[in-house]
Amino acid sequence: MDLPQLSVTVLGAGQEVGRSCCVLRYRGKTVVCDAGVHPAHHGIASLPFLDELDWSTVDAILITHFHLDHAAGLTYIMEKTNFREGKGKVYMTSATKAVYKFIMQDFLRMSSTSTEPLFSPLDFSLSFSSIVTVAAHQFIVPCPGVSFTPFHAGHVLGAWLKVLYTGDYSREDDRHLVQAQVPSIRPDVLIVESTYGVQKHEALRGREQRFVDLVTAVVKRGGHVLLPSFALGRAQEILLILEEHWSKNPDLHSVPIYYVSSLAKKCMADIQNSPDEIVSLKGSTVPRRLAVEVISFSAHVDGEQNLEFIKQVKAQHIILMHGEAKAMFSLKSKLEQQYAGNEEGIQVHAPHNTENLKLTFRGDRIAKAIGRIAERKVAENATLQGLLLSKDYTFTLLDPRDLAEFTGLSTSVVVQTQRVAISVSLDLVKWHLEGFFGSVVDGIDADHVRTLRVMGTVDVKHTREDELMLEWESSVTTDMIADSTLALILGIESSPASVKLTMSSHSHHTHADEEDEELMQQIRCEHIAAFLESHFGSAEIDLPDDTKDRLDDPAII
């Protein structure tokens, strides 16, 4: 059974945050996870390293969620590469596709002002209609040998965790999302984000309380609160927090809450800089009189949550993505310390963009026993014999007699024959065969032909006075025995032992006694030499010169 090997190539989000794109290749199948753009770059430079892959060979593209750094490059791949020349399909959850449409419409609007837009609205429409939607926990088979099941990832609405690849995920329950689920099966490889490295977040309830306390204090003194939250998903969460707090505090009902998405990016840039003064529209300098507080509502796991999740998944290979190099390597170092000297050979990888990892896995594989084998009462640690069938990387063990019933296949037996001209008696042939192989069965076959059976597998039939026919069912072992038998028979006529034996009064049915030990030693050497010649080409016999030495010392071949 060949050792499974998975090829993993990171085309984006390798030691960086942005343009997530990961290529998985296994036994001729290719799956791509995510296809985003990099928010810090523009045009072609914002895309993953697409030239590293022949996109017509892709069997499936899986989009984990609608954020631009995971999905905005999809249209370019579908319409501007040779992806359409293949048979690949694109999958995302229904919730992801619903929001992805609006996100991409806004992306197209923003891109229309660029001198190098990646694609047109028509390209987007064509690609959007080809996307296949799936549901959480649905078992999907895009093509033979490939399957996947979406799990909730707790990052944004519609995000899902694949068996091997997390995308972005969260391990906290909030008001509109459940936390990421740990799959019930143990994957061989976990490809996981490393956004925050080993950094720890403030406790969720603590930061929520600090947030509403700050907002309440500001509005009660007549002030205004600006909340920059341009990541779709986090804005909804903040609005739900405020709605809950407002409902519990009637004195705040008169204070309106506005959400102005088009201003979010500009507001974020201004507040992040936190200048002591700003320039007004009239050109005059105005001192800053607003307070700035930073409270993170990130939908990404922190270091502790990530470590705990990785521990629960128990994958043999851990591949870190979606993190700046410093954060990624801090997490990698922590994991390597944690798994140092582990018996299961757990390995941690932090690939850079375009790096190709070739991973091998545990040698154990599970085979399902069916038919007669499954009906047997088998003791623990017992050895089973049968046919091991592999289909779509699953294994089945069955009795050869059940092959046709369970698979529609049938077995065949190859019978080989070889005819040899001889000028010696069959008794002499039998004597030589017994000297080399030991016991030889002498009998008559169904056609009343005298037959010598060698080692229970090769029949030597005396079909005519001057002809022998070798017959056997072909296999690795029987082919070797047949080759040796043929080589021995071809050497009988030229063997000095045969000449001496036919001139003596010895019966061919009785092996030599002590007086014939010298003759038998020569015969054995000749038989061994014939066997070696049949497999290696040539062999020479060197017997001791002295008669006594011939009996006491071994011959050299």
- Residue numbers annotated as active site: 300
**Total Cβ atoms within 10 A of residue 410:** 8
* CA 173 – CA 168 distance, rounded (Å): 15
Per the structure block, which two tokens stand in for 277?
């003064």
**Strands of the sheet with 189-193, listed across from one edge:** 189-193, 317-321, 347-349
Determine the Cα angle at 39 with ends 37 and 42, to 5°.
75
Largest CA distance in the chain: 133
Q: What would the DSSP string read from start to end of 435-451?
A: HHHS-EEEEE-TTS-EE
To which H or E segment does residue 285 belong?
A: strand 285-287
Burial (CB < 10 A; 0-12, 13-18, 19+), residue 377, is exposed
Give per-residue burial for 457-480: e unless 16+ CB within 10 Å, then b. bbbbbbbeeeebbbbbeeeeebbe
Residue 314 — left, alpha, or beta (φ > 0 → left; ψ -120 to 50 → alpha)? left
* CA 79 – CA 149 distance, rounded (Å): 26
Alpha carbon dihedral 419, 421, 423, 426, in 10-degree steps, equals 0
Give per-residue burial for 132-166: e unless 16+ CB within 10 Å, then b. eebebeeebebeeebebbbbbbbbbbbbbbbbbbb
**Total Cβ atoms within 10 A of residue 425:** 13
Closest CA relative to residue 528, chosen from 511, 542, 517: 542
Evaluate whether 541 touches 529 at the Cβ level (below 8 Å).
Answer: yes
* CA 387 – CA 379 distance, rounded (Å): 19
Determine the Cα angle at 334 with ends 328 and 340, to 5°.
130
Phi, psi angle pair for 244, to nearest 5°? -65, -45
